[in-house]
Structures are given as structure tokens and as C-alpha cells.
Amino acid sequence: MRATSERNIVLTGFMGSGKTSVGKLIAEKTGRAFVDTDDLIEQRAGKSIPRIFEEEGETAFRDLETEAVQRAARTHARVIATGGGAVMRPQNREALRKTGDVIFLDAEPEILLRRIQNDGTRPLLQTENPLERARALLKERRPVYLQADMTIQTDRLTEEEAADAVLEALQTGARRVHVNLGERSYAIHIGRGTLSRLPELLDFAPKGAKIAVCANAHIQRLYGAALADSLNAAGYDAWTADLPDGERHKTLQAAADLYDQFVENRMGRDSFVAALGGGVAGDVAGFAAATYMRGVPLIQIPTSLIAQVDSSVGGKTAVDHPKGKNLIGAFHQPKLVAIDVDTLKTLPAREYAAGIAEVMRYGVIASEGLFHTLETRMEDILRRDALLMTEIAAECCAIKARIVEQDERESGLRATLNYGHTFGHALETVTGYKRFLHGEAVGVGMVCAAEMSAARGLVGREFCDRHRALLHSAGLPSTMPSGVDPTAMVDAMKMDKKAVVSSRGVQLRFIISRKIGSAEIRGDFTEEEARAAIEAAKR
Amino acid sequence: MRATSERNIVLTGFMGSGKTSVGKLIAEKTGRAFVDTDDLIEQRAGKSIPRIFEEEGETAFRDLETEAVQRAARTHARVIATGGGAVMRPQNREALRKTGDVIFLDAEPEILLRRIQNDGTRPLLQTENPLERARALLKERRPVYLQADMTIQTDRLTEEEAADAVLEALQTGARRVHVNLGERSYAIHIGRGTLSRLPELLDFAPKGAKIAVCANAHIQRLYGAALADSLNAAGYDAWTADLPDGERHKTLQAAADLYDQFVENRMGRDSFVAALGGGVAGDVAGFAAATYMRGVPLIQIPTSLIAQVDSSVGGKTAVDHPKGKNLIGAFHQPKLVAIDVDTLKTLPAREYAAGIAEVMRYGVIASEGLFHTLETRMEDILRRDALLMTEIAAECCAIKARIVEQDERESGLRATLNYGHTFGHALETVTGYKRFLHGEAVGVGMVCAAEMSAARGLVGREFCDRHRALLHSAGLPSTMPSGVDPTAMVDAMKMDKKAVVSSRGVQLRFIISRKIGSAEIRGDFTEEEARAAIEAAKR
């Protein structure tokens, strides 16, 4: 996956993603030769691609394309732009990856269409509603595109910037994901050494601004004090604010203690709160930032795997109530998320593994490619390979960003992120939040969800088996403890925020997957089916 | 101000506000004759208005207009539409009000322009940038329009609906102000008996929905229990939640107590929180609604004058921190504000008077007409005349709505609402929140702001005198207590959320008025000037 001078740089993506123009710029910047597989096809066939489609049909075109891709993949040190559909055939992907680093240039369908709107030669878009067609095509192809070595989001980039982003990603492995929420948009920076790059990433914060680096004592020792020093050296007025250590301190009292420290340190409306650490830091410091002076700017600097791939992105902040997790909270989008994968090295093994369950959840609901990566590269994941974890975190963040963009306040789609969580939360509740880490409970919860789908015949046995096998390979629990009372768990589910309370009682909502890489929200499963699934997960 | 069958119904407003078309509809619905003063002018002059402008100039036109208005005002029981500029001359306003109820049809400049865009006969809009011109004209004229007996916001109304709204307002005195914030838009209903109409105003809440009626014991006794009963009779699942009584309980603990009650009563994400009472109820229950399950829908039912004209509108919620007022909070727009002016009758006199200071503040920053109403009708205000207070509350809410629409999160303009508040908050702080009610402190704070302007020569002495006289007539303190230390007050200001903290220290921001009816945010006043103003306010 490293870009050496010998390996090709292969650009993939939908039409309009800029493969050709960005590719030519990269070729120029690196002094490489540029190859467009579409050109190879036209040369070989002696006619234009629209004519090939028209006279010989798509299958013939795809055969020609495979031949061209294989030919291109036999070269070295080139920049290769591929046709929009080229990577759909597995043998094409294999060939390209052997000799090159494959980079997916991602963009929203609206932006893609705007870029190609005056090009009459695009065969697949000669339809009545091109946007709908583009969306459908992208939905189908994106999971395959995302199997690229790297994904660069180009929505807000010029061609020049996109070319630079590709080269930067190849050189450093650093990645950037944008969360597009209008005025509340922000960037997620992922890679090695992101912590030390924080002063430069904070270019939007005026020098002299106060920054409260909020972390527990352990994280302050490891990273917080050094971070505050480097921020101060860069001209900021950073100081360290103390958070208690541990999930059981995710309380309103912890937020109140932060308010006290903020007041004492004269934090104003334009001061920044940096939440440094795992999910608890992000949640408590995030909630305090959301509510101090009715909201001050927040920077998320997650150091645990679970926070890096999930809780730091999307603006959810909360503290627990004795009667329910996350019952008190607010939506407050960060101004920046800075993910340093090197911090994963200092995580206890059990906590790290728990984070893998959340990654797996993304695989199930949104990316068969990611699920496959987990199945095939668990060893590298467990030794916390920095480049691989950068890729994985970037993909998880990109999936979450896309979902949050469509449903910021969880009125629908965003709920699919709760796959395994309805069962998981209930399992945490009935075991008193002592026996399982959150991610571990979510892992077992996913097995329950899979078993519930299987009992309905929505998926086969192998679907459940893949769940269990993957959890097992990560060293995570994959079965429900035999002592757990299914009725108690279902009762706990009814207090979940996701349950719909109406005059007819409480209706449970479940996230169900019928195929790795997709999920849906269902309200048609009964309490009895849920109890049966919990029993089935015990075996 | 009452509509009897004899009094004319007079419509005023900018071009495009619908005076003619809405007026004709009202005439039809009431069987009255319709008169358009522009028609009277054209008949008298024997030529079109554009030609009068062209051949004789604007002054000649205005003279013709005054003559036409005087003629129309001598009739009875008619519907009269006036030209856009007709009410600019005081003698025209006087004449129209003698025999009729004057109704201002208000709308945003963008909407006004859309309505008239195909009408080539509008002389004032034959300019290069009509929107800019319309905005400038409206800014100049709106304060005069707002001196009408009633204002109907027509932005979101059809002509038919606008006609009905005018008739409803005339018959019942009930008024409606819309706050336009996209998805977060809502209506403010103002009038007598609004409390008993709440079940019908809640048409957006599905039957069966849980509603927590949050109020202190006193307000529960007066209104809460009955309100819950009427909501339950209408098919809702309402219950009363207890709030502590008094400003000193506006704490995080009070919010925490509400969370407990919400959990106990199984409030879900779709349950409603109704904040019933004064500013404390709106703030504490509002903050709890903003943060329970990351935000549940809120209904504001203010019963104090200060809450009716100010704190219930605009989405600010907060609790106090020992070191600062409103330091912990959130922006959370209500779904509905229901203002029943009859509840003002049960307010203690001192508290009622304190609310008048907030009304006065709107007059200073945005409406000379409102300030004038306070100066001329204080007796009616002090006896809490329901129709007059409906008018006043509606105007205050309309002013606030317009400001909040332009600056929801107080990045600029909204700060003008803090006129008198920077000094006022500091006065409350140095007197330990014991000596002054909030409104009383704001009243003295406005005197300080006026004195500071006067010392710079931005306003004359009479500006300060009008401040003091008005406060005095309302029975409010109008001088700073001699024992207050100006330095201590300025120190307190520096902890205010509005102060800008930078590496060069704390910069104070003040809201300054240079003319009754307008305000600006200034950062160029020194601590010394502030101290001098505090001293001057003692005299």
C-alpha cells in the first residue's frame, strides 16, 4: 500500500470524479506518464466508447475494458485513470492493486453531475432523470470503490487540490474526511502524528485563543500536557482541564466540574474546548462545550479506537442518568476532529478489541469491503498497523459522515448506526455495566440481531457464523452469557431512547441487516422474537 | 382601538403588503365599502400617480395624498387602503386613527418585492437594486408603520388568510407573530384566554403525546393543574412536573430534578415539555427540554410580563452558575409560544413593573412608536389593560422575532437586545442579586448606557431625561444607588459572556442608542467611560 517510485498510481471513481484531469496533474507533478484506460480501449477498438456501447453492447465493452486494464496494470510508475465501471470486475481490481496504489476519488452525485453536465458522450447518463440514475449507480458501485487503498473526498477540492491530496496521502498515509453540514461542516484528519500537527490544523482558531485541553489524568500524562505545550508554543493560550477517569464518571457532575474549571480559567464564548481521550472525554467535554455559555467551539481528539471510528464524529454529546445511558445530552458538531492512529498503541488490548466491534458494525451496515478487510487482515489490525488503521478509521469516518450528513439529528437513517446497540445497551444494563465493555456488548448485540434476522429467514446461517467468527478472531465475546434473562433484557430495551412510546405501549425498533453492507430500521419484530434471538445467541 | 361597526378599518404597509387586495376581501366579507386613497388621488388629479410624480414631484404628490387621506378619514364604516407612504405624515396618522383602527400589514422586503415584481407602475422601485432600495425604505418607514393599532405579519399568509387574520384580530384582540427560522419556525399566540385555547393551538402534537407541564407550586395552583386537565380532556397525556420557586433555584440541580421526573414519568423523545411561568420556568424547563435525550419539543407558556415580551421567544435557555448568570445553557427554539395576557393580572406589582423595563428596552432599540406608547399610556399599562398589553406584547415579540430571524445565535445584531443589560447584570452581581429584580437592574442599566452616550456627545440630555422619566412613571428605580462601586461593576462586566477575551485582555462591548428606536454594538468605550457613566447614573 506504500507509494514507491515503481508502483502505479491508479485513480478510480464515478464519471465526473476527475480521474482524468486530476490524473494528468499528478503525472505532471511527478514527471510520470499518464494512461487513461478508456483511451486504450478506443485505440484498440478503433472507435469511440459510445459507439462501442451502441454497436456491441455493454458486455463487449466490459471485455475490452478488462483487456485494457490488464495491459495498463502490466506497466510501472505510471498514473492510470480507469473508466467509471472498470473496478466492478474483481479481476480488474486484483490486477490494478498488484502493481499500484488504488485511489478512489469520491464525490456527491450532485457534484459529479455538475462536473459532467455538458458532456454528451456519457452513455449511462442519457436518461430522463440523470441525478436519480447517478445516485442509483453510485449506491451500487460505491461499496466497491471504497475497497480502494485510499479514498479522497473531492467535493470541496479543486483539481489542483485533489492532486495534492492524493500525493500527500500517498506520501504520509494521512487522510482527510469532510463532514458537510452547511455552516456546521468540518474536517476529520486521520493519520500518524496528527497530534503534533494540531497547531497547524487549528488554522481557523485565532492565535491567543484559550483552549481547554480536557482529559483524564492518564491521558493528560500521555498526551495532554505535551499537546498544551505545543499549542502554547504556537501562540495559543492552552491549559489542561481535568476529567475523572472511567465510564461511571460520565455524569452531570463531571460536566458541572468542567463548568467550574472553565469559569475559573475565564473561558469566554470564543474559547475552545478540546476533548482528548476516549468516548467519556468526548461525551463529557463535548456536552460541557455544548452547554457552556450556550455553546463554545469544540475540537475532538479521540485516542481510543471506539472514539476514533465512531463517537468523535457526528456531534452527539451526552452524560448518563442513573436511569439511562446518554439520557442528558446535546447535538454539538465539533469544528475539527483530529485522529492520531499512533495513540492506539497505548490502548489496553481489551479496550482496543472492543473498538473493533464498532468497526465491524460499519462493515455490516454499510461496507462489505470493510467487513472483508476485517475478515482477512485481523492480524495486522490486532498489531495496530498504523497505515491500515488509518485506512480503516478513514472509511468508518466517511461512512458515518455520509450518514450524519443525511440525518444529523437521527430522525431516521442515522439510527442504522445502532446495529447491535439495542441489544448491546440492554446487555450492559442487565449486567450492571460491569461485565462488558460497550464494544463487547455491541458485539454480542450484533449476534442477537443476526440471529433474529436468521429466525425470520431474512438471512442464512452463514450470516450469523460470519458475525461470530469475526468477533472470535478479534478476541471478542461472541455468545450471550447463559445466565442473562431475556425478559429482563427486553424490559431494559423499552427504556431505550430508540423505543417509540405511544398510547398503545412501547414499540421496539431494531436495526436489521439482510446482507453484509446494508441495514434497515424495522418496527415489526416482537418482544418474543427478541427474547428468542437472545436465547439463540447463547448457543 | 376597538373595532365597532362604525369605525373604519385602515390598512397600511409597504407596497406589495397587499393593502388593496386584502382590503377588498375584507370589504367583501364585512359588506363594507372599499376605498383606496391612491384612487382618490388619481381621480382628483385626473392623472396616474407615476405621472404626478414625474410632472409635479413627490412633495406635490404627498400634498394630494394628505388631502385624500383627510377625505377618507371623514367617512365611516369603510375599509380604507392607504398608499405606502401615506402614514409618514403625522397629520395623516392622526386623521386615520380618529375614525378607524389602523392595521399594518407587515412582510419581509424579499416577499414584498416578489409580490410586486411585475408591476411597472411603482415609481420608487425604478432603481438599479430594488431589493436594497426596498430594504432601505422599509427600515426608514417600519418604525412609523409599527405605530399602527395592530400589526399583522403576512409573510406566510395568503390574501384570504391575511383578511381573516385582520378580522380575527379586530374581533378578539388576539394576535399572532411568526418566527421564521426554516425548520425551526414557530408561532407566538398572544391575547386573552390563550391558556384555555392551548389544546387547539397544539394541533401539531399528536393526540396521546405526553406533555410535562413544568411550573412551580404557585403557578401549578393558579394555572398548571387546570391546564393539564384541559390537555387531558383533549386527548393528551399531560402531567405536572414540579419546579422550585424563585430565581435562586435557576440551577443545574433544578434541571437535574426535572430529568429525574421526566425519566420517572417515562418521557420519550417525542414527549413535550411545557414551560409554564416566568423566566425561571422558561429557562430551567427549556434547558431540560434542550438536553433531555438530546432535545425534546418545547412549548413556552410565559405568565410574567418579562417572559411574555422577552425570554419565551428566541430559543435561549439557561441555568445559572455560582460564578455567573446563564453560564450553562443551550439554544432550543420552542414549537409554540402561548401568551395569555390575562395571567398578568396575577403578577405582583413590583414584578409587573420590572417587565415594563424590558418593554422600554425594545422601544429604545427598535421602536420610537412603542417608546411613545409607554410615555403616553402608562396608566393603562399599569392597570394591565388586556387589549393594550396584547398590542404591546405582540410588538415586542415581533421586534424580537425579526432580530432572532436575522441572528439566531447572537453573533451580532441579537446583542442589541442586551441594551442596558451589560450594566444591569453587573449591578445585579455587585448587589448580590438581592436588591434589584432583573428588570429593575436593566432599567438602571439603560440609564447608565444613556449617560455613557451623552458623555460622548452622541445624544443630548433629553435622551437621558426621557429614560429616567419613563422609568419613574412605571414606578421603577431610575438612579444608581450611591453605594455601588463603579470599579466592582466594571470587573463584573468583564466576566460577562458578551465581553470579548483576547490576548490583549478583556474588551467590553456595549449596546448604545443614538436615537430612540435604534441601537448599535460598540467596542470603543473604555472602562473609564463605563465607570463615569455609572457615577453619572447616581445623580
pLDDT for residue A442 is more than 50: yes
* CB of A270 less than 8 A from some CB of B: yes
* CB of B323 less than 8 A from some CB of A: yes
- Write out pLDDT tens, residues B491-514: 999 877 666 655 556 778 999 999
Q: Whole-angstrom Cα distance, residue B438 to residue B111?
A: 38
Q: What angle do helix axes A130-145 and A109-116 make, rounded to 10 degrees?
A: 120
% residues pLDDT > 70 (chain B): 96
Query: Which residues have C-beta within 8 Å of that of residue A166, sequence separation ≥ 6?
Result: A9, A11, A22, A26, A103, A105, A150, A152
Q: Whole-angstrom Cα distance, residue A94 to residue A102?
A: 10
Listed in order, strand segments (DSSP E) in A47-120 are 78-81, 100-106
pLDDT for residue B71 is more than 70: yes
Q: What angle do CA A234, A239, A240 make, to 5 degrees?
A: 125
Chain A residues within 8 A of B501 when measuring between CB atoms: 210, 266, 268, 270-271
Search chain A and give the residue with CA nearest B495: A266
Q: How far away is chain B from the Cα of A438, in angstroms, using its nearest Cα?
A: 19
Which region among A449-458, A511-520, B192-201, B465-474 has the lowest average model confidence (pLDDT)?
Answer: B192-201
B151 pLDDT tier (thresholds 50, 70, 90): confident
Chain A residues within 8 A of B330 when measuring between CB atoms: 290-291, 294-295, 330
Write down the pLDDT at residue B225: 96
Most confident of A452-466, B166-180, B184-198: A452-466
Asked if A451 and A537 count as a contact pair (C-beta separation under 8 A), the reply is: yes
Write down the pLDDT at residue B341: 96
- Write out pLDDT tens, residues A221-266: 999 999 999 999 999 999 999 999 988 899 999 999 999 999 999 9
Q: Beta strand pairing status for B175-179 and B324-331?
A: unpaired
In a 3-state reduction of DSSP, which class is residue B459? coil
Contact between chains at A268 and B330 (C-beta distance less than 8 A): no
Higher pLDDT, B213 or B502: B213
pLDDT for residue A290 is more than 90: yes
Cell of A199: 497547531
What residues 34-63 of chain B have any CB closer than 8 A to a CB of chain A? none
Cell of B189: 399566540
Which region among A270-274, A472-476, B44-48, B529-533 has the lowest average model confidence (pLDDT)?
Answer: B44-48
Give the residue among A471, A452, A472, A450 at the shortest CA–CA distance from A462.
Answer: A450
B524 pLDDT tier (thresholds 50, 70, 90): very high
Grid cell 454539538 is found at A332
Cell of A431: 449486567
Which region among A184-193, B110-119, B488-497 has the lowest average model confidence (pLDDT)?
Answer: B110-119
Write down the pLDDT at residue B63: 94
Q: Whole-angstrom Cα distance, residue B131 to residue B137?
A: 10
Asked if B471 and B436 count as a contact pair (C-beta separation under 8 A), the reply is: no
Cα–Cα distances (Å) from B422 to A135, A294, A368, B454, B526, in that order, read 53, 17, 58, 17, 14
Which region among A530-539, B112-121, B353-362, B384-393 has the lowest average model confidence (pLDDT)?
Answer: B112-121
- In this prediction, residues B91-120 reach a mean pLDDT of 84
Search chain A and give the residue with CA nearest B296: A330
pTM: 0.78
Asked if A472 and B243 count as a contact pair (C-beta separation under 8 A), the reply is: no
* CB of B316 less than 8 A from some CB of A: yes
- In this prediction, residues A424-442 reach a mean pLDDT of 94
Give the residue among A44, A33, A101, A103 at the shortest CA–CA distance from A71.
Answer: A44
Q: Whole-angstrom Cα distance, residue B16 to residue B22?
A: 11
- In this prediction, residues B429-436 reach a mean pLDDT of 92
Grid cell 478509521 is found at A393
Cα–Cα distances (Å) from B126 to B54, B86, B108, B142, in that order, read 12, 19, 19, 21
| C-alpha A430, offset from chain centre | 29
- Write out pLDDT tens, residues A476-494: 999 999 999 999 999 999 8
A495 DSSP assignment? T
Nearest-by-Cβ selection for A263 from B323, B326, B503: B323
Asked if A400 and A175 count as a contact pair (C-beta separation under 8 A), the reply is: no
B4 pLDDT tier (thresholds 50, 70, 90): very low
Chain B residues within 8 A of A329 when measuring between CB atoms: 291, 293-294
In a 3-state reduction of DSSP, which class is residue B204? coil
Asked if B467 and B478 count as a contact pair (C-beta separation under 8 A), the reply is: yes
The β-bridge partners of A520 are: A512
Grid cell 471485455 is found at A63
Write down the pLDDT at residue B1: 36
Indicate the average pLDDT of chain B: 91
Chain A residues within 8 A of B254 when measuring between CB atoms: none
In a 3-state reduction of DSSP, which class is residue B222? helix
Which region among A160-174, A490-504, B374-388, B395-409 has the lowest average model confidence (pLDDT)?
Answer: A490-504
Please state the three-class secondary structure of A111-163 as a single string: HHHHHHCCCCCCHHHCCCCHHHHHHHHHHHHHHHHCCCCEEEECCCCCHHHHH
Write down the pLDDT at residue A2: 40
Contact between chains at B293 and A210 (C-beta distance less than 8 A): no
pLDDT for residue A519 is more than 80: yes
Give the residue among A448, A454, A452 at the shortest CA–CA distance from A426.
Answer: A448
pLDDT for residue B2 is more than 60: no
Query: Which residues have C-beta within 8 Å of that of residue A43, sequence separation ≥ 6?
Result: none
pLDDT for residue A504 is more than 70: no
Tell me whether residue A227 is exposed, middle or buried, using C-beta atoms within 10 angstroms of its C-beta: 0 to 12, 13 to 18, 19 or more. buried
Cell of B309: 415580551
